[in-house]
Structure 1
Amino acid sequence: MTDMLDDDVTQAHVDLFSKFDPLIEMRRELLATGVTDPFGLVMERVVSPTVAICNGRETILLGTYNYMGMTFDPDVIEAGKQALDDFGSGTTGSRVLNGTYAGHKAVEQALCDFYAMDHAMVFSTGYQANLGIISTIAGKGDYIVLDIDSHASIWDGCKMGDAEVVPFKHNDIEAMEKRLRRIPEGAGKLVILEGVYSMLGDIAPLKEMIAVAKKYGAMVLVDEAHSMGFIGPNGRGVAEEQGCLDQVDFVIGTFSKSVGTVGGFCVSNHPKFEIMRLVCRPYVFTASLPPSVVATAATSVRKLMHAGEKRAHLWENSKTLHKGLKDAGFQLGTEVPQSAIISVIMPDLERGAAMWEALLHEGLYVNLARPPATPANMTLLRCSLCAEHSADQVQQIIGMFTRAGKATGIIG
């Protein structure tokens, strides 16, 4: 017995971090070029939804997903301050224990009113909303059919739930139908789609895809994280815009984009939906959102119901920037503007990082997106517009891109 233990002790040490060595080397090589770390930017002060102080200088923000600019709305901020005074800084508990305050019920009611749906369930993050809902409703013996470009939180929800996962080519209706046709008769089926895909900013043909899903008896979940608030007549997302929201079984969304705070949610009309509060592990075993956060979210959601002018201005910003960058000679992720996300395709990571840094020196912050998070191993500079960007700021942005593009050789 002693010999066996001695043998165990002398076994070779395995570094559990070795699997990350290629990424560590990629990062080392990138930083060795002298570029600022594009994944470690610190905002020293945030002045408004569109401006911050970065590296000691005023910088236009074009990579925050703050689509509707609600982070500095006076009513939203006042609601958060009042909740801090009335309820304190945190709940210290799960929703099913001591973690449900009046504000949690108020924000869920605001979501029901916003979407005109019967049920709403709020999570501590948007990631947890996907993780919780997907892993709970689709389990062993069920099938999930999903777009290959789905967000990481969707993939992780699939992995956690133990259902059979069947991906299909991005936005390919025919490929989706082929997958559905092969699923055994009588099996549970869930089709997962996104309204706006965050890497390229393209939208899904939801109306056609949902019709196919229903033909094969599948339930449908649509993640509207990047469309909620500004796409659709009432800001309910791409499903509303395409006239098929009533065919969607579950809408997932987040507070960290258009709502301007943090948290996630699911809304549904399913008559049995409330049982999710007892069986969904990422909901049951997580501390609930702080009172100040749900107060700001509820106030923001209700204001977004009446934000038609802001939605129209955001669309103008998107059209202007898309045309300006295209005319300057940049290769973009979509032929026409489809959302508030405009992705600029870079030749490779090294030159993408150089362009990112050149923009930062110009006074502009965007997101550098790299493989493997991006489709087709692309390197992208991802721009997310805000309804609070002025027309002058959009023109400034076009000028900054043009100068940085020429300086780095991305455009002629």
Structure 2
Amino acid sequence: MTDLFSKFDPLIQQREALLATGVKDPFSLVMEAVKSPTVAVCNGKETILLGTYNYMGMTFDPDVIEAGKNALDTFGAGTTGSRVLNGTYQGHKECEEALKEFYAMDHAMVFSTGYQANLGIISTIAGKGDYVILDIDSHASIYDGCKMGDAEIVAFRHNDIEALEKRLKRLPAEAGKLVVLEGVYSMLGDIAPLREMIRVSKEAGAMVLVDEAHSMGFIGPNGRGVAEDQGVLEDVDFVIGTFSKSVGTVGGFCVSNHPKFEILRLVCRPYVFTASLPPSVVATAATSIRKLMHGSNKRAHLWENSKRLHKGLKELGFQLGTDEPQSAIIAVIMPDLERGAAMWEALLAEGLYVNLARPPATPANMTLLRCSLCAEHSAEQVEQILGMFAAAGRNVGVIS
């Protein structure tokens, strides 16, 4: 009889071999206490957090927490229903209004997770006989949305404008086409050349969806993301985002100016058949989004942190994912998984938490230590982080 788990055997063996070296499991860390957006207690030790995507540090904002507590007292713990049944409370509408105001767009639709936002929008608007043209390094939720919608998937080389243009020219002129791009790619922290990519997409008659999960709140004059920063936000048909990064809570969304957008509420399965977010969550999200509209000082400080950490790691001799800092993500490339895991553990022992990212989630089978900075990291903490990387790197033999 076939064991349905046999397909996972190579991964099981790889994990067992890694743990046999004495390294702790880097994918089962428990935070015993969280003291602030930048500090937690891990394994009984106070630890600086550098792997949480809490870019704007909104998780402990007093106004955000108060809004959540008030909603919990007023509306209870959950909705126990879908948005199209009993699951739309006043808070859900207020959250969508905050998003429309933040992006200056006509429509906003809130999902229970960012993953579901991509899954729902892509699978609903691009179906059988349509084409989704996407960057090969796209997030899993984007690929899963394509698969669920049964559209033809056409991938092009990462951030390659010419490759995108060639793929588009080969497709039937009359076919429905959706180009899916990301503002910031989460593995290496690099940004997309959206201005040129959107131009060639529109020339080919394609609609454009941009996932701004890792840029919302931080990049752009108003924090609307890379499309705003490159002056092409008005040319984007759909912007997807998440509340689990800069907004500091959980949930996902899509904003759009498309005149027929509202029909998606009746035909988008991950929206129709999922319980809606709890009232406390949408209250925290709406409050956070409105505060992010006035976050220019925080954005400036986050850029300072990103530039300092990137420069310092480069000077120490680490190989980084980008030549210059392009976002709040800085990827430190490791020689292999074994030394990557050892480096991750050495940093944790120093009192620093980062993300260990490994194949197949990473591009080109790389092992990465992914650092995501926060606007609440102080300049002193950034210097501490560099000292920890120096000590751990020499200890493991990643730098001399």
Q: How much has 1:121 moved relative to structure 2? A: 0.1
Alignment of 1:198-213 (within 5 A): 198-213=186-201
Partner of 1:187: 175
Alignment of 1:101-112 (within 5 A): 101-112=89-100
Partner of 2:166: 178
2:45 to 57, 61, 64: 57
Partner of 1:4: none
Q: How much has 1:14 moved relative to structure 2? A: 1.2
Find out whether 1:23 has 2:11 as its counterpart. yes
Q: How much has 1:398 moved relative to structure 2? A: 0.4
Partner of 1:131: 119
Q: CA-to-partner distance for each residue in 1:250-293, whole Å, 9 max, x for gaps?
A: 00000000000000000000000000000000000000000000
Find out whether 1:313 has 2:279 as its counterpart. no
Partner of 1:3: none
Partner of 2:233: 245
* Counterpart amino acid of residue 77 in structure 1: I
Q: How much has 1:136 moved relative to structure 2? A: 0.1
Partner of 1:43: 31
Find out whether 1:399 has 2:392 as its counterpart. no
Partner of 1:6: none
Partner of 2:132: 144
Alignment of 1:49-128 (within 5 A): 49-128=37-116
User: SS where residue 48 of structure 1 aligns?
Assistant: coil
Alignment of 1:154-165 (within 5 A): 154-165=142-153
C-alpha separation in 2, matches of 1:176 and 1:208: 10
C-alpha separation in 2, matches of 1:163 and 1:54: 44
> Which is higher, the Rg of structure 1 or of structure 2?
1
Alignment of 1:251-400 (within 5 A): 251-400=239-388
* Counterpart amino acid of residue 233 in structure 1: P
Q: CA-to-partner distance for each residue in 1:288-346, whole Å, 9 max, x for gaps?
A: 00000000000000000000000000000000000000000000000000000000000
C-alpha separation in 1, matches of 2:308 and 2:172: 48
C-alpha separation in 1, matches of 2:162 and 2:239: 23
User: Number of matched residues?
Assistant: 400
C-alpha separation in 1, matches of 2:344 and 2:73: 41
% identical aligned pairs: 84
User: SS where residue 319 of structure 2 aligns?
Assistant: coil
Relative to the length of structure 1, the TM-score reads 0.97
C-alpha separation in 2, matches of 1:123 and 1:30: 37
Q: CA-to-partner distance for each residue in 1:186-243, whole Å, 9 max, x for gaps?
A: 0000000000000000000000000000000000000000000010000000000000
Q: How much has 1:168 moved relative to structure 2? A: 0.1
* Counterpart amino acid of residue 207 in structure 2: M
Q: CA-to-partner distance for each residue in 1:115-144, whole Å, 9 max, x for gaps?
A: 000000000000000000000000011011
Relative to the length of structure 2, the TM-score reads 1.00
Q: How much has 1:167 moved relative to structure 2? A: 0.1
Q: How much has 1:185 moved relative to structure 2? A: 1.8
User: SS where residue 334 of structure 1 aligns?
Assistant: coil
* Counterpart amino acid of residue 257 in structure 1: K
Q: How much has 1:171 moved relative to structure 2? A: 0.2
C-alpha separation in 1, matches of 2:143 and 2:78: 30
> Which consecutive segments of 4 or more residues in structure 1 shift more than 6 A?
none
User: SS where residue 200 of structure 1 aligns?
Assistant: coil
Q: CA-to-partner distance for each residue in 1:165-189, whole Å, 9 max, x for gaps?
A: 0000000000000000000120000
C-alpha separation in 1, matches of 2:346 and 2:396: 8
C-alpha separation in 2, matches of 1:365 and 1:36: 13
Note the residue ranges of structure 2 that are not aligned, 5 or more in a row. none
C-alpha separation in 1, matches of 2:14 and 2:94: 47
* Counterpart amino acid of residue 52 in structure 1: A
User: SS where residue 251 of structure 1 aligns?
Assistant: strand
Partner of 1:166: 154
User: SS where residue 382 of structure 1 aligns?
Assistant: strand
User: SS where residue 35 of structure 2 aligns?
Assistant: strand
Note the residue ranges of structure 1 that are not aligned, 5 or more in a row. 1-12
C-alpha separation in 1, matches of 2:184 and 2:295: 20
* Counterpart amino acid of residue 351 in structure 1: R
C-alpha separation in 1, matches of 2:14 and 2:99: 43
